[in-house]
Structure 1
Amino acid sequence: MGVGRFVYTPILPVMVSALGLSKSAAGLIASSNYAGYLLGALIAVTPVIKGSRRGWFLGALALSAATTGLMAVSESLAAFLVLRFIGGVASAFVLVYSSALVLDRLARAGRAGLAAVHFAGVGLGIAGSAALMAVMVAKGADWRALWWASAAVTVVALAAVAVLIPAQRAVPSAPVKRDGGRNPGLAILIAAYGLYGFGYVITATFIVAIVRAAPDIAPLEPAIWLVVGLAAAPSIAIWSMVARRIGDLAAFAAACLIEALAVIVSVTVLTPPAILLAAILFGGTFMGIVALGISAGRRLSSGDAERMLALMTAAFGLGQIVGPAFAGVLFDATGSFLIPSAAASAALVVAGAMAYAIKKL
């Protein structure tokens, strides 16, 4: 996930320089990936998909590797859009089926608390791929080589998980409890989750490009995405502890406010200490908010977990799709990410306020 879904962020500035891509085109490519992720996530939680979870997981990981590598083959915007869309579908299947396999087996082993280790993989993937990209760029690698290397990393992951997650006899899942009731708190949370999708994704897509364009912080370009990934790795465990103390909704609200600060600082205080702090705060919250949102959604969903997951995924996905394209168009019009980042920061503040307001219902 850290490679297939997020490696576009450190490769983007190199592609823009080499191919002369506009920021609106770069944002559109990112939005295409998120549109594929939305479709894949919605399909993956429906009864349409039959067969082995492990088979779908390994197949999706192979497709992720293929679409990542093929990004190096063409210079066509249309090809980039198609490949990143298919890669987004594959990324969604990877997340859904890896989580289903790992979390089910942890539960049967009585080790559910290790779920945070599983989700830390996204942050470690971001950090590892960022370090690889930084080394390759320093050695003069072009954008094509960066995509090929990213694909190679995914192939290694495919081989590893094929060994680490052996085939097992399917275990029937418990029937889903449905009560047909409507919870106004859940509806508000879904809307807040959609705003979060919009609020985080602009920085997640363009933070490396922002750093490259600012002379005072440009030397930090190789490190900034690495810092985000390292901060993301332990974030779910940390926010889970916070949630146990103050509740998942209050923790969701707090994390949104911290991330709003990170987003606005990343475009207004362009000094090395400030951008590093922004990267730490951003990385330390964006995965945690996902976990907190799903945890709160489960609690508010009256047992209808599949429907809740589908609705939250749809809202989050729509926010992700709009964000990069919106930011790219505004950058081309104004020459700055200030306005889109300010809008993203405001969306995060509103999302946090909405989540906190649910506590009073």
Structure 2
Amino acid sequence: MPTSPIPQRPEWLALGGLLALAAAMGIGRFVYTPILPFMADSVPLGTGEAGLIASANFAGYLAGALAASIPALSGNPRVWFLAALLASAVTTAAMGASGSFGAFLALRFAGGLASAFVLVFASTLVLDRLRQAGRPDLFALHFAGVGAGIALSALMISAMARSEAEWQTLWFVSGAATLGFCGLAAILTAGGPSGPTPSGAVSSAPSRPLRTRFDAALVRLIIAYGLFGFGYVITATFVSAMARTNPSLQSAEPYVWLIVGLSAAPSIWVWNRVATRAGRKAALVAACLAEAAGVALTAIGSTPAVFSFGAGLVGGTFMGITALGLVEARARVETRGGNTRQILALMTASFGLGQMAGPTAAGIMHSVAGSFAAPSLAAAAALLIAAILFSR
């Protein structure tokens, strides 16, 4: 007898997706930002090395997104994202047991690969089932996991820093938190089919070949998404280090990452409301412009208040753009009859390529200019170009 793909309570499924993204993205992927200043002082790490470690994570994210797009990949999406969550917890904790630059690169690459699998497969599972349940309004709860995880990681790191915990302990506790969220996500996403679909495809919906026509509009969307990845990631990677290394901004360091997370958590709901009233295209343009302003303010802001406001703008927009971009791509592919999992993976790959380039470019420009102003302004310019492409 076939089982229903819809769990009894869609809210539980969305909450499970929230916890999965909080663990793999908010903690597993982004906790490096608040831990970086402590590693830079103690390991030690130069700005160039720190940028390469961040880029290794984003290279893994790109590789994971490309792997997730393979049509022949078989299995159940819930099994894939739970296995990837476990890998995220292990690689996060292992950072505290490592001491070499090479190990940091390898572990962050593996962690990035795991986070991409979680995003693609958890989103495939959750969005498909919520749509079937008639609850697309819960999409925002699922994607709010990234901001919630960032806020939680900021609180964890800040609390442990006040107790003078070593940087290794920060990674151990972050890995343990990810593992706990993995267990909760496994419980909350139970229900629906437990094995592969009849076609053997990993999507919870029947597998279809990718028949999307990559016309100019879709290509522009994919390119804009990659530019957005480059535009947000420099601030998202180095914002805590920016505050610590600038004497006039040091008072903002303990709470600036928390501001990013708290701004990100409700941002998808906010931008969904904007998209409902003005359309997704207009919402994407407005969010990119607001984020460009935020990135620029973190570059030129000379007071904690201005710097923090800029960080809040970045936090309040980057997940909104992430979600709206994926939903827009999904809608276009559904109209054309393509494979939704593959377009989600291709968008994620473009995003991953942009964010992989960002930290390395920032490290190079910082070594030349001696500050993060130049890379941040370059990132703001990339966001302006993305806004133009989204508008067309």
Q: Scaled by the length of structure 1, what TM-score is found?
A: 0.94
Deviations 1:190-209 (A, max 9, x none): 11111111111100100010
CA contact (8 A) 2:55 2:359 kept: yes
Query: In structure 2, do the counterparts of structure 1 residues 294 and 317 end up closer, same or farther at CA, with 3 Å as the change threshold?
Result: same
What's the offset of the Cα at 1:177? Answer: 7.1
Q: Equivalent residue for 2:315?
A: 283
1:323 aligns with 2:355: no
1:303 aligns with 2:327: no
Query: In structure 2, do the counterparts of structure 1 residues 299 and 59 end up closer, same or farther at CA, with 3 Å as the change threshold?
Result: closer
What's the offset of the Cα at 1:311? Answer: 3.0
Q: Equivalent residue for 2:283?
A: 251
Task: Determine helix, strand or coil for the equivalent of 1:2.
Answer: helix
Deviations 1:60-116 (A, max 9, x none): 111111100110112111000000000011111111222223223322332221110
**What is the alpha-carbon distance in structure 2 between the residues aligned to residue 163 and residue 179 of structure 1?**
35
1:74 aligns with 2:98: yes
CA contact (8 A) 1:327 1:337 kept: yes
Query: In structure 2, do the counterparts of structure 1 residues 56 and 17 end up closer, same or farther at CA, with 3 Å as the change threshold?
Result: same
CA contact (8 A) 2:65 2:346 kept: no
What's the offset of the Cα at 1:329? Answer: 1.5
Aligned residue identity for 1:68: T
Task: Determine helix, strand or coil for the equivalent of 1:72.
Answer: helix
1:136 aligns with 2:160: yes
**What is the alpha-carbon distance in structure 1 between the residues aligned to residue 343 and residue 85 of structure 2?**
26
User: Which stretch has the larger CA shift, 93-102 or 120-129?
Assistant: 93-102
Deviations 1:287-336 (A, max 9, x none): 01111212222344423234433332222111111100110121122210
CA contact (8 A) 1:185 1:300 kept: no
Q: Equivalent residue for 1:65?
A: 89
% identical aligned pairs: 50
Deviations 1:209-249 (A, max 9, x none): 00111222212211111110011011111111111122211
Q: Equivalent residue for 2:371?
A: 336
**Which ranges of structure 1 fall in alignment gaps of 5 or more residues?**
none
User: Which stretch has the larger CA shift, 97-106 or 113-122?
Assistant: 97-106
RMSD: 1.6
- Aligned residue pairs total 357
1:199 aligns with 2:199: no
Q: Equivalent residue for 2:131?
A: 107
CA contact (8 A) 1:54 1:167 kept: no
CA contact (8 A) 2:68 2:342 kept: no
**What is the alpha-carbon distance in structure 1 between the residues aligned to residue 184 and residue 345 of structure 2?**
30
Query: In structure 2, do the counterparts of structure 1 residues 72 and 182 end up closer, same or farther at CA, with 3 Å as the change threshold?
Result: closer
Q: Equivalent residue for 1:119?
A: 143
**What is the alpha-carbon distance in structure 1 between the residues aligned to residue 132 and residue 324 of structure 2?**
23
What's the offset of the Cα at 1:178? Answer: 5.5
Query: In structure 2, do the counterparts of structure 1 residues 70 and 185 end up closer, same or farther at CA, with 3 Å as the change threshold?
Result: same
What's the offset of the Cα at 1:181? Answer: 3.2
**What is the alpha-carbon distance in structure 2 between the residues aligned to residue 24 and residue 178 of structure 1?**
40
1:41 aligns with 2:65: yes
What's the offset of the Cα at 1:167? Answer: 5.0
Deviations 1:4-41 (A, max 9, x none): 01000000010001112111110000000011011112
CA contact (8 A) 1:2 1:123 kept: yes
**What is the alpha-carbon distance in structure 2 between the residues aligned to residue 61 and residue 25 of structure 1?**
26
Q: Equivalent residue for 2:75?
A: 51
